């Protein structure tokens, strides 16, 4: 069962790590751009980030996890993609609070609830995407193409 092991553990773990790191960098950049646009009161940039940030936080983990499963990055990497938005938000709030950035309040108890909600939504989304990717891999193996199992 090389396909099952590749899907669960991951044959391309390095690619999975880069998937998680790359997504974290994109989400962090999106949050920083949104914060800068809001601080500078740039309406065009704020309108763009109001549409871009929910796309990154809520909708991107599912297709990324599906692509990671299809690329056989492994379940842990695919599910980690779902937790990335919550970790990035929590990290930015902690750093912003420690540095003293105005408008960032890490002492607000609602931030913890928002972070946990982001994690729950992202993890659910990534799990569904992972299941879709596994289904695509198994269907491709059943039809006889895309397997790549040479070992």
Burial of 151 (0-12, 13-18, 19+ CB in 10 A): exposed
Q: Residues with Cβ < 8 Å from 63, sequence gap 6 or more?
A: 129
Separation between Cα atoms, residue 82 and residue 95, nearest integer Å: 21
Over its length of 151 residues, how does the chain's per-residue pLDDT go in tens digits?
466 666 666 677 788 889 999 999 999 998 888 888 877 877 777 777 788 888 888 899 999 999 998 888 888 889 999 999 999 988 888 888 788 777 666 566 677 788 888 899 999 999 999 999 989 888 888 888 765 554 4
**For residue 90, how far is the Cα from the chain centroid?**
14
What pTM, to 2 d.p., does this model score?
A: 0.81
Residue ranges of domains in the chain? 2-143
Name the DSSP letter for residue 7: I
Separation between Cα atoms, residue 55 and residue 46, nearest integer Å: 14
Yes or no: say if 61 and 82 are a contact pair by the CB < 8 Å rule. yes
| Overall residue count recorded for the chain in this entry | 151
């Amino acid at each position: 069962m090389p396909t099952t092991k590749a899907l669960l553990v991951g044959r391309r773990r390095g690619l999975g790590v880069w998937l998680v790191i790359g997504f974290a960098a994109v989400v962090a950049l999106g949050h920083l751009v949104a914060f800068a646009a809001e601080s500078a009161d740039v309406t065009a940039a704020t309108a763009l980030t109001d549409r871009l940030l929910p796309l990154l936080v809520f909708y991107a983990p599912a297709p990324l996890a599906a692509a990671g499963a299809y690329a056989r990055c492994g379940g842990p990497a695919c599910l980690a993609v779902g937790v990335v938005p919550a970790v990035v938000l929590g990290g930015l709030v902690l750093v912003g609070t420690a540095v003293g950035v105005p408008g960032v309040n890490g002492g607000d108890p609602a931030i913890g609830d928002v972070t946990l909600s982001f994690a729950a939504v992202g993890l659910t989304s990534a799990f569904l995407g992972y299941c879709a990717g596994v289904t695509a891999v198994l269907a491709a193996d059943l039809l006889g193409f895309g397997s790549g199992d040479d070992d």
